[in-house]
Structure 1
Amino acid sequence: MGYTETDWLAINTIRTLAVDATAHANSGHPGAPMGMAPVAHVLFNKFMRFNPKNPDWVNRDRFVLSNGHGCMLQYALLHLFGYAVSMDDIKAFRTVDSITAGHPESHDTPGVEVTTGPLGQGISNAVGLAIAEAQTAANFNKDGYKIIDNYTYCFLGDGCLMEGVSSEACSLAGHLQLGNLIAVWDDNHITIDGDTNVAFTEDVTKRYEAYGWHVVAVEDGDNDLEGIEKAILEAQSVKDKPTLIKLKTTIGFGSLHQGTHSVHGAALKADDIKQLKAKFGFNPEESFVVPQEVYDLYHKHSAEGAAAEEEWNKLFASYSSKYKAEADDLVRRVKRDLPEGWEKHLPVYTPSDPAIASRKLSETVLSKIEGGSLQMTSSHPRLGWVHMLAATSAMVCVNMLWVLS
């Protein structure tokens, strides 16, 4: 695995960027980015497959920051890996018309897959993304042509686990045996109100195991990079269950107030920032500093992602020559074009028709669209369309629309 001083320099650069941006805005949540910087570094630099020059590559891995208040973590990563998020954008954190808003916005910021903010929403959307990947793979992959095989990764906090919508979505993920979904729980025992013990004392591990998830724990998320890497590798090896990685971290790691709710929803004070930078080997008098070796490290991985996309393009070109109809259909879906004549399959009703419950009308319309114009009877044993569309009644289905349209 072999981690070096450069890895720790990169981790601490993520932390100081989050600290500087929230301090400059005098607003935001520095604690989560500081605590999750190690796992973010391992995930993005060792595992995530993406090309910052083409954020829309269809077979990229997806990342969802469910605890979206910690968005400076994601903004810092996007900037460092070479997405179209400049240092000026980082400095404009939480200002009007900035692409680095107070929460991740999918249509404003390159590389942000899902708009997150309301707790529980992100992990629910991540379940939807994983369903869409499994469904698409089941319909388009052929022997020798694994066109779709990406992972969906999600970071979430205690607040997300408290929300009912996340429970429903994660129960469905376990039922569907989504081995392509890997969630990392930032187990820092802190909410904006204080210690989680004031309101949240359930055994999350047992709950997720009961949902049908694989659960693995990392006891020292602040320092154990090898343990984090092993946990992700273990999660990838489990093909018939989603995985929850229970990662114990210290919120606001490095701050004078680390481990408390003081670093959750407010910028660090000037004296705290100075001691933190000195502790991490940065000049306390400088802000928004990125050492060149950090850019070099991350841009190397981004170049590997670009090369992976190029190899995929060659595979898809071969696939297109052999399975033209399927390739054309996948391209149409990625372009979000509807099938020609889709509206002809919709049922027609008149005032003289007998009364029918609205839920039955909805079922009929969905069935006509699915069975008539899209002809998408799944080859995946657990992913029939009618079941999925009926079961994913909340935010999960939003992320399936790209497959339908």
Structure 2
Amino acid sequence: MSKRPTRQSSSQTPKKAKNDMDKDQTCINAIRCLSADMPSAANSGHPGAPMGCAPLAYLLWTKFMSYDPQDPSWLNRDRFVLSNGHACALQYAMLHLTGYDLSMEDLKNFRQIGSKTPGHPERDDTPGIEVTTGPLGQGVANAVGLAMAEKHMAATFNTSDFPDLIDNTVYVIMGDGCHQEGVSSEACSLAGHLKLGNLIVLYDDNSITIDGDTSLSFTEDVPKRFESYGWETITVDGLDSDITDLEAAIEKAKLSKDKPTLISCKTTIGFGSGIQGTHGVHGAPLKPDDLKQVKEKFGFNGDDKFVVPSDALAVFREAGAKGAAAHAEWKGRFEQYKIAEPAKAVELARRLSGKLPEDWRKCLPTWTSEDPALASRQTSEKVLNAIAEALPELVGGSADLTPSNLTQLKCSSDFQHGSYEGRYFRFGVREHGMAAICNGLAAYGGLVPFGATFFNFIQYMLPSVRLSALSHLRVLYIMTHDSIGLGEDGPTHQPINALALCRSMPNCLAIRPCDGNETAGAYAVAMENGHRPSVLVFSRQGLPQQDGSTVDKVFKGAYTLVNCEKPKVILVASGSEVPLCVDAAKLVGEGARVVSMPCMDLFEEQSAEYKSTVFPEGVPVLAVEALSGFGWDRYSHAQHCMKTFGASGPLKKLFVHFGFTPENISDKANGLVKFYEGKPVPSLVNRFE
């Protein structure tokens, strides 16, 4: 059963009657005026792109997209991504006009604190926003992830009797700035390789950026570039006054099943304004007299604000109602699906809820101190594959480092054209694109994605990781080769400052385990935190399995690994420096306690009482980490950390060279004890509040 009526091919698209064309233009101009009203009310914002893109949005939302304003989370809705997120007034206008829970009062509160209409689209603030956009290029890269997710979910849950239970299209509007940012190139290159025919991108080709005409810096032939990626490309002119050709182009794009499509739409930024077609209309509200003449030019009352003609509003609300009817029809089919495919239906519902099976942790492997030392990337491999067997929603891959990251899923094939049921993604050398795509995979629903690379290269990915955190998306970033311990590759690859960067990010868990049990705990934390990403940081070198480490203790963020009744000094570390501290404590002798701190953020969430048991008053604390010491002063009185970018050499010699040996650590601990003899030890308690 088809989700929508079969549309005519572009060669059969009839010419419209004049009355229909007039109605189209009235609706388009209503979008333009409403989109211009919002920045004017806020005295802030971008009216130009919404006014130029109004024909694109009108066609998508009234003629092509299937969505239900009363249930924005309907699984089989088409996804819309506004990649040039500064044009958000356009999207807010469409959401309001088609009947989403976004009132005219919300539009009047554009860019105000606590409003549902922030300065760029944010998925948790506004019903109908699929992904948070604004940093250019991110949205279209997210859209590639959304399209990949649809292909995988369809291959997993559709059957011969229900071939279109999951069958949606991802539509994107993007601008010149999105094309210039490299993340979009990475993602769109992969989309072409994967032949994602469910992805249609409308390129707002208005030839304007903030600096001025694009001829200043951007003269490439964008369609030719996309053709080389394996995309179908179409160019449409004359959109300011006639949408017939664009409608035919979208019809044609929908017929392309094994290529994504880029439609280059020649638009005029700020169409209708006295300064249309210039960068002056890009990033500032229209002047009052200009806004008035725009409305009068379009046949509206120039003094009206936030007014939509009733005949235009009826068109938009009819489109929303049509989508609600499509949703109702789909729900009927899903009831039939539950009868025919009960196991699949239950699994689909569980995955869409974001909940894990109650006993899922039983799959986690454990280690004892009798087990051999393993690099934490090796224990990660074992844990990841155990979880993948138990949780089929876990999907992901590596940025061309599978043999080094050890992330191959043994229970699954690769995700490729013709085998979209595969759960392992070959992202290629595209770290930034990988992270942005993972955000799209997570935003689709029903999937928990991971992306892997060397830890140093998370700094290529940070804008996307930040959006994972801002968007409350459960994405796992599997980072290996975590310190100077990676050895000979040297300073270019040694991620000295990377962990401090991740720890500084709100709503993002940076977890660096010291052994196998802590690795299992790190994955457990990541999987059970449904609304924030996790950066899992693993070593290249072997680490001994510790007595006293457990999965549950990782949830505390920090815990006492080696205890003593009356500590005189505490050694605290994460990852590969924990076993060094355990050995150093033996050299210090009686009174040395060791604390493992795999995750600072989780420790911050514990009670003051618990924190004081880990770091009791009056005991000096030495922090040890073969990375930047930034942030460790919160938990320690002294830090033995990296102060340079590292060096190239064998890892054992590097640890000796930089003083990460039990002997040197014990000397520093004894020196700290001696320093505070007869002096009050500064309290750390106030730092926990």
Q: Same fold (TM over 0.5)?
A: yes
The offset of 1:248, in angstroms, is: 0.7
The alpha carbon displacement at 1:363 in A equals 4.9
Give a deviation string over 1:35-68, Cα, whole Å, max 9, x none: 0001110111000101101111110000000000
Q: Secondary structure of 2:126's match?
A: coil
Partner of 1:385: 423
For residue 393 of structure 1, give the secondary structure of its aligned residue in structure 2: helix
Cα distance between partner residues in 2 of 1:203 and 1:367: 44
- What is the percentage of aligned positions where both structures have the same residue? 53
Q: CA deviation at 1:374?
A: 1.8
Distance 2:363 2:165 in 1: 29
Distance in 2 separating the partners of 1:388 and 1:134: 15
Q: 1:173 and 1:339 mapped to 2: Cα distance?
A: 32
What's the CA shift for 1:19?
A: 1.1
CA positional deviation for 1:388: 5.2
SS of the aligned residue for 1:387 comes to: strand
Please tell me whether the aligned partners of residues 389 and 397 of structure 1 are also in contact (alpha carbons under 8 angstroms). Answer: no
Aligned to 1:285: 303
* CA 1:170–1:328: 2 relative to 1, 3 Å: same
Query: Are residue 257 (structure 1) and residue 280 (structure 2) matched?
Result: no
Q: Which residue does the alignment assign to 1:398?
A: 439
Q: Equivalents in 2 of 1:131, 1:340: separation in Å?
A: 28
1:193 pairs with one of 211, 215, 239: 211
Partner of 1:336 in structure 2? 354
SS in 1 for 2:325: helix
Query: Which has a greater percent of helix?
Result: 1
Worse-superposed segment, 111-120 or 389-398: 389-398
Quote the Cα distance in structure 1 between the aligned partners of 2:439 and 2:21.
Answer: 41
Note if contact 1:176-1:382 (Cα within 8 Å) is conserved in structure 2.
Answer: no
1:374 counterpart SS class = coil
- 1:353-402 Cα deviation digits (max 9, x unpaired): 434263x5555544333233328847973432122578763111123233
Aligned to 2:136: 119
Q: Secondary structure at the match of 1:229?
A: helix
Give, in whole Å, the separation in 2 of the partners of 1:315 and 1:94: 41
Match 1:315 to one of 333, 349, 355? 333
Q: TM-score, normalised by structure 1?
A: 0.95
Matched, 1:52 2:69: yes
1:67-216 to 2 correspondence within 5 Å?
67-145=84-162, 146-216=164-234
Q: 2 CA distance for matches of 1:79 and 1:171? A: 34
The RMSD of aligned alpha carbons is 1.9
Q: Distance in 2 between matches of 1:362 and 1:269?
A: 58
Q: CA deviation at 1:286?
A: 1.3
TM-score, normalization: structure 2? 0.57
Bigger shift: 385-394 or 231-240?
385-394
Matches of residues 212-361 of structure 1 in structure 2 within 5 Å? 212-349=230-367, 353-356=372-375, 358=377
One-letter amino acid matched to 2:446: V
Q: Within 2, Cα distance between the matches of 1:217 and 1:171? A: 20
**In structure 1, what is the Cα distance between the partners aligned to 2:176 and 2:380?**
35
Corresponding residue number in structure 1 for 2:569: none
CA contact (8 A) 2:236 2:265 kept: yes
Structure 2 stretches of 5 or more lacking a match?
Answer: 1-13, 394-410, 449-689
Greater CA deviation, 2-11 or 361-370? 361-370
Distance of 2:359 and 2:129 partners within structure 1: 33
Larger fraction in strand: 2
Instruction: For 1:320 and 1:44, locate their aligned partners in 2 and report how far apart those are by CA, in whole Å.
Output: 30
**Quick check: 300-309 or 381-390, which moved more?**
381-390
8 Å contact from structure 2 (residues 223, 233) kept in 1: yes
The Cα shift of 1:349 comes to: 4.8
Which stretch shows the higher mean deviation, 200-209 or 132-141? 200-209
Letter in 1 for 2:375: I
Corresponding residue pairs, total = 404
Q: Identify unmatched segments of 5+ residues in structure 1.
A: none
Worse-superposed segment, 281-290 or 61-70: 281-290
Question: Counterpart in 2 of 1:15?
Answer: 32
**SS of residue in 2 equivalent to 1:304:** helix
Q: CA deviation at 1:105?
A: 0.9
1:229 partner amino acid: E
Kept in 2: contact 1:367–1:386 (CA 8 A): no
Q: Secondary structure of the residue that 1:273 maps to in structure 2?
A: helix
